[in-house]
Chains A and B, each alone.
Chain A
Amino acid sequence: MIQQIDYFAIAPPLALALVAGLVLLLDAFLPARPRTKTGLGLVTLAGVLVALGFVIAQAARGGPPQSTFCVPPGLAGGPAQAAGLCSFVVDRFTLVFAGMVLVAAVVVVLMSMTELASGAIPVGEWYFLLLCTLVGAVTLPASRDLIMLVVALELVSLPVFALTAMKRYDGRSSEAAVKLFVVSVVSTAIMLFGVSLLYGIAGTVYLSRLGAVFSGRVAAPGMAGDAALATAQELPAVVTVGVVLVVAGFAFKIAAVPFHSWAADVYQGAPVPVAALLSVISKAAGFAGLILVLVTALSGQAATWTPIVAILAALTMTVGNLLAMRQSSAVRLLAWSSVAQSGYILAPLAVAATSGAVSASMAYLVIYAAMNLGAFAVVMLVSRTAPRNELDDYRGLMFRRPAAGIALAFCLVCLAGLPPGLAGLFAKVFVFREIIEGGSGWLALVMAVNTVIGLYYYAIWTARLFTPDGGRQLSRYRPPAAAWLAMGLALVAAVLFSIAPQLVLDMTSLSASG
C-alpha cells in the first residue's frame, strides 16, 4: 500500500532540510573567502524565510487541520478507528509553534552572522547544524505519535551538542558540550523508558489513541483482563511511573528543577547564538512536546501529573531566581533567569489540562521568546568587545551605545514584567489568571514572590546600564548590520506585544486542539 504524503503539510521542515544539504554542499565547493561566509548566512536566512513563508501559507489557508503520515483505514480496522491516527498534523498549535521557532531562528541566524564574522568557527558546519536543529523544532509540534516526538526531540538536541563545541580549542566550550550531551542522553533514556511503559499499557503510539485509552474511553490492550481504565483508582502503578518518567525527560529539555544544573555552564560555554537557541528554540520545542504529551495523550491522567507539574513549576521558578540573583556574568544570569521563566511557563499547566491553560503557557512562551532574544542580541553585541561578559561590562552602555542600551533595558524590564515592558506584564497576568481561576492560590503566591525576586536582578542590571562608567574607552568595534537587525527584530516584536498583546492571545487561544 502506497502512503499518500501531503507535501504541502510537510513543506516547512522539508525546505529547511533541503537548504541544510545545500549549505553543506556550497561550503564544500565554494572557495573559502569572507564573502562566502556571508553568502552561506544569507542562504540559511533565505531557507528559514522560505519555511516561514510555507508556515504562513498554511496558516492563511485555514480550513481543517492538514494531516499526513496517517494509518490507512484498511489497517486500522475501519475509518472510525483510523480517525486521528496520524503522525504529522498541521493545526494551529503546530503553526504557532513553528512560526515562533522560525521567527526566532531568523534572529538566531542574524546573530550567527555576527558571531561567525570573527572566523574561529567553521561556517558551513555551523549553518548545517543550525538548520538541522530547526528541522527538528518545526517537526516536533506537528508530531502526533510518541516515536515521531522522540525522534524530533533528538533532532533538536543532537546538533546543539556539536554547535556548543564549535568554538574549537576552547576548554569551556568543550566542557559545556560534554555536559549537555551527558544530561541530554540521560534524559532521552529516561523519557524513552517512560514512553515504552506507556506504549506497553496502551498498545499504541498515537497520541489521540493514548488519550482515549488513558481517559478510559477505550480498553487498554496492555492490561490484564478487559478492564478499561475507567478511573484513576483502577490504574496500575506502572502508568504513574510512565507518566513521571516522561515528564522528567521533558523537564531535562526545558531545564526545569531538579534537572536544571546544566543550564548555566552550557549557556556560558556555548557561543552566544547557541545560548539564545537553547533558551528559546530548544526550550520551545521541549514545551511543545510536553504540552502534546500531557494535554493530548495524558489528559485523562491529569490528576497524576498536575501536582507533579505544580511542584516542578514552583521549584523551577524559585531555584532559578535565587541562583540568578548571585550571578555576575550576563550569560549565566540569563541562563538562570530563563530557568525561572520556564517555571512561569509551566505554571498554567499545573492547574488543569484545559485549552485556557495551554494558551496561557503558549502566550507566555511567545512573549518570552521575543524579550529573551532581544536581551541575547544585546549580550551578543557586548560580548564582541567584552569577552568575559560580566555585568560590569554593561556599565554606561546607555551612553556608549544608546540604541543597544534602550533595547536591553526594555527587554529586561519586560522580563521583569513591569511597565513599560507591558508584554512581560501581560504574560504574567495571563498566567496568574489561569492559576487563580484554577484555584491554586499557593502557586500564585509563590509566583508573586518570585516575580519580586526576579525584579531584583533585572533591576540591578538595568540600573547598571544607566550608571556612568568612569571613562571607559569607547571601543572601535562596529557591529555589522546583522547584529542591529537581530536586535531590532526582537525589540519590535517585544514592543508590538506590549502595545497589542491581543495578537498573541489571538494566535494562541484556539490552538489548544488535540
Chain B
Amino acid sequence: MMGWIPVALLAVPLLGALLLVLSPHTFRPVLRAYGLFLSGATLALSLLLLVMFDYGRPAEVQFEVDQPWIPGLGLRLHLGVDGISLPLITLTALLTFLCFVYLCWGRARASSQFMQARPRALVFTLLVLEVGMIGTFLALDLLLFFIFFEIVLIPMYFLIGIWGGQGRRAASIKFILYTLLGSVIMLLGLLLVWAQTGTLDIEALSASHGAGMSRSVQILAFVAIGLGLAVKTPMWPLHTWLPDAHTEAPTVGSVLLAGVLLKMGTYGFARIAIPVLPEGAMAVAPWLGAFAVVGIVYGALACLAQRDLKRMIAYSSVGHMGFVLLGFATLTPVGINGALFANVAHGLITGLLFFLAGAVKERYLTVDIPALGGGLLATLPRLGSVLTFAAIASLGLPGLAGFWGEMLALFGAFQPANGLPRGLFLTYMVIGGLGAVLTAAYFLVMLSRVTHGRPPVAGAPGAAAPHAAGPDEGLSAPADDTGTPADLDDRLIRTTPDERPVVPLGSEPGEQPVTPTGSSGDRPAVPLGSTARHATTATLDPYTGGVVPQGPGGREPGSGRATPADDIRSYEVLAWTPLVILILLFGLWPGLLLSLTTPPVQALLGALS
C-alpha cells in the first residue's frame, strides 16, 4: 500500500515546524534553505502522488490510511486521495513552495522585509499552515476534516496579525472570529450527522447517500455545515472578513488565503455537504444558487468601486467563488465539474494576481489605483504584461484557465438536476452571465488605469513613483512632498484612464534603457536570462531601507523612474512561471483536469442522478 505518502505529506511540514520550535538556534543560519527544502520536499511528495495516482479509477479513494486515533469519539486517522482532492493537494503544495521561493530565493528583496522580522516564526507559521491545508484535502473523517479545517486559523491569524499592513489587528481578529463562528456551526452540523448515523467515515457516509437521516435532519445539517463552509468560501453575505484580511495580509498570506484557504470551503461542499446530505442539498440548492449569483454580481460591482488593487482582487474572489457555488448548486455533474475546475483555476490565477499586487506594492509602496497613476506597461513592461495576463485570465478569456469553470457552471445552471426549478436556474444563469460581463468590465477598467496610459511624469504629483523611499506611505506621500495643490492631483487621476492611447514601448524619454522586451503583451513569460541578470545586479546589494542604489546616490522621492532592475526579479520569475504555465495549460487543455474530476463527481451525485 502507498499509504505512507499522505502521512508523509503531513509529517514533513509538521516535523519541520516542530524542529524549529525545539531547537530555535540550530536552523537560524540556514533558515531560507530550510523552508525551501521542506516545502520543496512536500511538493515532491505531492508530485509523487500525482505520478503514482491510478488514473484508471479516479473515483476511488487511493493511498488510503485508516488508523484509530480516539476510539471514544470514533475519530480515526483516515486519509486518502481521489480525483477531487488530488489537484487541490498538488495546488496547495505548489503554492506553498512558490511562496517560499518568493520569500527565500537568493537574496530576494521581498524576503528581506519579512525575513528580517522574525524569519523563524514566519517559516514556522507557513509550515503549520501547510499542514492544515493539505490535511483538510486528505481527511476522510468528519472530525478529522474539522480539525484540519481549524488548524489553519491560528497560523493565518498570526500571518495577518504580525506581518500584515496598517490595520492588521482589526483584520486578523475579524478573520479569526468570523471563520471560527462558521466552523463551530459546521461542527454542530457534523455532530448532528454523526448523532444520526453513528459514523464519522466520509467514505461510508457518501456511499450511503444520506440513508438513515430524515429529510428535515438533512436540511438542518446541510444548513449548519453549509454555513460554516460558506463563511470560508466566502459566500455573499458572509464575505465581509475577506477584503479586510486580504488587504492587510502580506503577499504570501494573500496568496495562500485566496489560493488555498478559500478552496477548503468549496472542497467541503464537494466532499461532505453534497454527497453526505443529498436531500438537504436538493432542498437548499435554490437558495445556495441565489446567494451565489448575488455574490457574482455584488463582487463585480464592488470591484468596480475599488481604488485599492488588493481589495479589488479580494472582491473579485467573492465573484469567482459565486461561480463555484453556482456550479455546486446545480447538482449536476457538469456544474460540479465546472465548480471544481473554477476552484483550481481561481487558486492559480488569484494566487498569481496577489503575487503581482504584492510586487506592485513593494515597488510603489501603495496599491491605490489612482496613486499608481497608470503606465505600468511603459515603466515596468514585464510586470505590466504579467499583470495583464493574469487579469484577462481572471476575467475568463477563452483559452485561459479562468474560462472553463465559469462556462461549465453557467452551463450547469442551464440544465439543473431533476427536481430543481429550471426556470429559476435559467434566471441565475442569465444573471451570472451578466456578472461575467461585469467581471470583464472591472478588470479592463483596472488594466486601463494601472497598466495603460502615460506613465506619470517625473516629479509630477499624483503618482507614487517606484521606490518612493520616503517615510510616508501611500497617498499622502506625493502631496506632502511636492506641495502641489490637490485639485491638480484629482485632474490627473480623472484623465489618466481609458481614453488615452497606449504609449508605445520604447518611446519613453530619458534614462530608460532600451531592453529587448519583445511583444510583451502577448508573451507573458519573460525571457529568463535578461531578467535574471538585471535582478542579480540589483539585488546583490544589501537591502537598505527600500532603495537599491542603481545610479549614484539614492533616488529622491517622486523623481524616480523605473529602471529594468525594478522590473521582474529572478525570484519572482521563479515563483510566477509555474502559475503562468499552469494557467495556460489548463486553459488550453481543460480535459486534463476534467477527466480527473468527472468520475468522482458522478459517484458523489449517485443518489441524485
The residues of A with any CB-CB pair to B shorter than 8 Å are 402, 406, 413, 418-420, 422, 425-426, 429-430, 432-433, 436-437, 441, 444-445, 448-449, 451-452, 455-456, 459-460, 463, 466-467, 500-502, 505-506, 509
Contacts and interface: CB of A to CB of B under 8 A. Distances in A.
B158 A419 contact: no
A466 B191 contact: no
17 contacts: A418-B153, A419-B150, A432-B191, A433-B73, A433-B191, A433-B195, A436-B192, A436-B195, A441-B188, A451-B184, A455-B180, A459-B177, A460-B173, A466-B158, A502-B71, A502-B72, A505-B70
The B interface, classified by DSSP as helix, strand, loop or mixed, is helix
A494 to B, nearest CB: 15
B133 interface: no
B181 interface: yes
B185 interface: yes
B194 interface: yes
Given A436-B195, A466-B158, A422 B147 contact: yes
Contacts of A402: 24
Closest 3 CB pairs of A and B: A505-B72, A448-B184, A419-B151
Interface in B406-456: none
A313 B21 CA distance: 38
A502 B76 CA distance: 12
Given A429-B143, A436-B188, A448-B188, A413 B73 contact: no
Contacts of A459: 157, 173, 176-177
Given A433-B73, A466-B162, A502-B72, A455 B188 contact: no
Contact of A448 (B72, B148, B187): B187
| Residue in B121, B143, B181, B187 with the greatest tally of chain A CB atoms within 10 Å | B187
B458 interface: no
A418 B180 contact: yes
Contact of B181 (A419, A429, A433, A452): A452
Contact of B73 (A419, A437, A505): A505
B173 A456 contact: yes
B359 to A, nearest CB: 27
A325 to B, nearest CB: 11
Interface of B: 21, 24, 69-73, 121, 128, 132, 143, 147-148, 150-151, 153-154, 157-158, 161-162, 169, 172-173, 176-177, 180-181, 184-185, 187-188, 191-192, 194-195
Contact of B147 (A419, A451, A466, A502): A419
Nearest to B74: A433
A430 B153 CA distance: 21
A38 B172 CA distance: 46
| Residue in A419, A426, A467 with the greatest tally of chain B CB atoms within 10 Å | A419
A65 to B, nearest CB: 22
The A interface, classified by DSSP as helix, strand, loop or mixed, is helix
B135 to A, nearest CB: 10
A509 B151 contact: no
B147 A448 contact: no
Contacts of B153: 418-419
Contacts of B194: 433
A422 B184 CA distance: 14
Nearest to A455: B180
A14 to B, nearest CB: 34
Contact of B177 (A406, A452, A463): A452
A459 B157 CA distance: 9
A459 B132 CA distance: 19
A459 B181 CA distance: 14
A364 to B, nearest CB: 13
Given A419-B150, A436-B195, 15 more contacts: A419-B148, A420-B128, A436-B188, A436-B191, A436-B192, A437-B195, A441-B188, A449-B184, A452-B177, A463-B157, A463-B158, A466-B158, A502-B70, A502-B72, A506-B72
Contacts of A444: 188
Nearest to A413: B154
Contacts of A463: 157-158, 161, 169, 172
B72 A418 contact: no
B187 A426 contact: no
| Residue in B153, B158, B184 with the greatest tally of chain A CB atoms within 10 Å | B184
Contacts, number: 90
B70 A432 contact: no
A402 B71 CA distance: 35
| Residue in A413, A451, A455, A509 with the greatest tally of chain B CB atoms within 10 Å | A455
Nearest to A432: B191
A190 B182 CA distance: 42
A270 to B, nearest CB: 31
Contacts of A500: 70
A509 B162 contact: no
Contacts of B69: 502
Given A420-B151, A436-B195, A459-B173, A452 B188 contact: no
Contacts of B154: 413, 418-420
A452 B180 contact: yes
A426 B146 CA distance: 11
Contacts of A452: 177, 180-181, 184
Nearest to B186: A448
A433 B162 CA distance: 35
A392 to B, nearest CB: 14
Contact of B187 (A429, A449, A467): A429
Contacts of B72: 501-502, 505-506, 509
Contacts of A467: 162
A459 B162 CA distance: 13
Contacts of B147: 419, 422, 425
A501 B71 CA distance: 10
Given A432-B187, A445-B188, A501 B70 contact: yes
B180 A451 contact: yes
Contacts of B177: 452, 455-456, 459
Contacts of A441: 188
Contacts of A419: 132, 147-148, 150-151, 153-154
Contacts of A426: 70, 73
B162 A429 contact: no
B136 to A, nearest CB: 11
Contacts of A455: 176-177, 180
A406 B22 CA distance: 11
Nearest to A406: B21
Contacts of A418: 150, 153-154, 180
A2 B184 CA distance: 58
Nearest to A359: B72
A448 B73 contact: no
